[in-house]
Amino acid sequence: MPSDTLMRSGSSKPSVAIVGAGIGGLTLAVALQRVGFRPRLYERASELSEVGAGLTLAPNAMRAYEFIGLKPAIVAASDRPERAALKDFSTGKTLNQLALARLFHQIHRADMQALLIKAVTDADPDAIRLGQEFAAFDGESKIRFTSGTVVEADVIVGCDGNRSAVRQALFGPDRAAFLNYVAWRGLVPAKAVEKVIAEFDSGGYVGGGRSLIRYRIRGGALVNYVAFARKDEWTADSWSIRSTIAELEREFANGCDDVLAILRATPPEASFKWGLIGRPPLEQWTKGRVTLLGDAAHPMLPFLGQGAGMAIEDAVILARALEHYADPDEALARYESARRPRTTLVTLGARHSGFRMHGIDDTETSDAGRQYTEAFVADYDPAPISI
Ligand SMILES: Cc1cc2nc3c(=O)[nH]c(=O)nc-3n(C[C@H](O)[C@H](O)[C@H](O)COP(=O)(O)OP(=O)(O)OC[C@H]3O[C@@H](n4cnc5c(N)ncnc54)[C@H](O)[C@@H]3O)c2cc1C
């Protein structure tokens, strides 16, 4: 049986195995390499590719990337909106306008992934192992992949996303539930909707059980959008079910002219939909030397645009904890107690924001929702906070 016993890097730094090479896993690898660790990433996919969609990095995520030296590469590859607005979904009436002062960075997911992979492999060409799907944990320090490979490490981090197999190995089967939103995404050539996007670069249309968020990427050449509809039922378990323009027109028939113009400009072969599935926040992330990070630890609705932001913050805090505390048990405990309260509140805040955006009475989460503020989310800096 193949085995991979990770060696302690150079000095006496613990060995770290990362399961999953998404935004969270790759960012953790960069953050660890920066302080002298030699992490190894195990990814299920046989090649690393990203869906055609955009990603917004808010100021909190950009501070994390500044700390680990990736800010210049991200700035070079992203768009920064100057004007943002929120409009009524059906009437198109302006509800809110915002000067963003170029604080947000909006980037194609494939470009973000490429620059993270480059950073990881420039530091260590041997860092990423593809075609490795996590299968089991022995309860101590070894994990096994479906390929038969067994890995032993001082610290194991499950960064394997919303449907995390590592989380289930640690804490048992999930209580996943459909959260009553279906999302459609599309990338539209900016030229096809020039008149619509001239008024503001980034923002959305909200209210009445429907919403559409849009922004520019790739030097303004593409408009990324995600449109959401409240639904009672959903059965498929996939991120990439094909949809059609006819279905978009039917689902969003009450949209204002701008909304319909954007949906109709979607290239016909490039409309995808998926149901938003959630899980209650976990009360524990760590068991022994294994912990969770990103969507594996705290899957959240996308209505604050902060899922990746939280994974990126987690990565910096975990790397700082492992650097600072020589005992991995202490480091993992510090990481979890620094991150669990914040990510739980942001998870509840995202749910609350979804209710607000869709004009739904929010008695269930209003108390928790009131505790979070936009500033609480975006003003955070993972570099100086004490852990
Ligand atoms: C509509 C929508 C819009 C969003 N927009 C934003 C936004 O603008 N800004 C933002 O901050 N966030 C946004 N998010 C959230 C963001 O995409 C996620 O929070 C983020 O990608 C989570 O990163 P991750 O690394 O934890 O997980 P993932 O990106 O899901 O990566 C998990 C990785 O693990 C691998 N994997 C899975 N299972 C296994 C296994 N068993 N063994 C080995 N490898 C495995 C996968 O192949 C994948 O590479 C959005 C989400 C949605 C749904």
Q: Are residues 195 and 340 in the same domain?
A: no
Burial of 358 from C-beta contacts in 10 A (0-12 / 13-18 / 19+):
buried
Q: pTM for the whole thing?
A: 0.95
Residue nearest ligand 1's atom 50 by CA: 302
CB distance 256 to 87 below 8 Å: yes
Point out the ligand 1 atom lying closest to the alpha carbon of residue 53. 3
Residue finishing a domain among 250, 278, 306: 278
For residue 88, which phi and psi values (nearest 5 degrees)? -70, 135
Q: Flag whether 186 is in a domain.
A: yes
Indicate whether 231 and 310 sit together in one domain. no
Percent of the chain past pLDDT 90, that is, above it, reads 78
CA distance 17 to 5: 10
DSSP secondary structure letter of residue 7: P
| CATH classification of the domain holding 231 | 3.30.9.30
pLDDT of residue 365: 57
| Same-domain pairing of 192 and 166 | no
In a domain, 259, yes or no: yes
Q: Count how many residues are written for the chain.
A: 387
Six-digit token pair at 377?
């989310």
Q: What is the pLDDT of residues 54-110, one digit of tens each?
A: 999 999 999 999 999 999 999 999 999 988 999 999 999 999 887 766 789 999 999
* The pLDDT value given to residue 3: 72
Instruction: Give the model's pLDDT for residue 9.
Output: 53
State residue 289 phi and psi, 5-degree precision: -95, 15
Residue 132 lies in a domain: yes
- Decide which of 278, 299, 334 is a domain's last residue: 278
pLDDT tens for the chain, residues 1 to 387 = 567 767 555 557 999 999 999 999 999 999 999 999 999 999 999 998 877 799 999 999 999 999 999 999 999 999 999 889 999 999 999 998 877 667 899 999 999 999 999 999 999 999 999 999 999 999 888 999 999 999 999 999 999 999 999 999 999 998 788 999 999 999 999 999 999 999 998 999 999 899 999 999 999 999 999 999 999 988 766 777 899 999 999 999 999 999 999 999 999 888 999 999 888 889 999 999 999 999 999 999 999 999 999 999 999 999 999 999 999 999 999 999 999 999 999 998 898 889 889 988 766 555 655 566 776 788 999 999 999
Run of H or E residues at 97: strand 94-99
> Is there a single domain that holds both residue 350 and residue 363?
yes
Note down the domain range covering 213: 177-278
188 plus 207 within the same structural domain: yes
Question: Is 387 within a domain?
Answer: no
Task: Mark whether 265 and 287 lie in a shared domain.
Answer: no
Q: Do 319 and 368 reside in the same domain of the chain?
A: yes
Task: Report the number of distinct structural domains present in the chain.
Answer: 2
> Is residue 384 a part of any domain in this protein?
no
**Residue 386 falls inside a structural domain:** no
The response to whether residue 158 sits with its C-beta less than 6 Å from ligand 1 reads no
Based on the fold, state whether residues 150 and 63 are members of the same structural domain: yes
Answer yes or no: is 346 within a domain: yes
Residue in 18, 44, 237 to alter for ligand 1 test, most ligand atoms within 8 A of Cβ: 44
Integer-rounded Cα radius of gyration of the chain: 21
Q: Domain for residue 385, yes or no?
A: no
Report H helices in 131-244. Answer: 165-171, 194-197
Give the C-alpha separation, 184 to 174, whole Å: 25
Specify the 3-state DSSP secondary structure of 25: helix
Contact 303, 354 (CB under 8 A): yes
Per DSSP, 91 falls in state T
Neighbours of 44 (CB within 10 A): 17
Is there a single domain that holds both residue 246 and residue 193?
Answer: yes
Q: What is the pLDDT of residue 95?
A: 93
- Say if residue 85 is in the same domain as residue 139: yes
Q: How far apart (Å, rounded) are the C-alpha atoms in residues 150 and 308?
A: 29
Task: Find the CATH number of the domain harbouring 70.
Answer: 3.50.50.60
Ligand 1, atom 30, residue with closest C-alpha: 161
Is the C-beta atom of 183 inside 6 A of ligand 1? yes
C-alpha to C-alpha distance for 265 and 258, rounded to whole angstroms: 11
Q: Which DSSP string corresponds to 213-281?
A: EEEEETTTTEEEEEEEEE-S------S-EE--HHHHHHHTTT--HHHHHHHHTS-GGG-EEEEEEE-PP
User: Do 53 and 139 lie in a common domain?
Assistant: yes
Rounded to whole angstroms, the Cα distance separating 69 from 354 reads 33
End-to-end CA distance of the chain: 39
Report the share of the chain in percent with pLDDT over 70: 93
| Domain end among 258, 278, 298 | 278
Decide: 81 in ligand 1 pocket, CB within 6 A: no
26 and 111 inside one domain: yes
Name the phi and psi angles at 327, rounded to 5: -85, 115
Measured in degrees and rounded to the nearest 5, phi and psi for residue 302 equal -85, 15
Q: Is 160 in the pocket of ligand 1 (CB under 6 A)?
A: yes
Give the pairing of strands 3-5 and 150-152.
Answer: parallel
- Decide whether any atom of ligand 1 lies within 6 Å of the 14 Cβ: no
Instruction: Say how many Å lie between the CA of residue 280 and the centre of ligand 1.
Output: 17
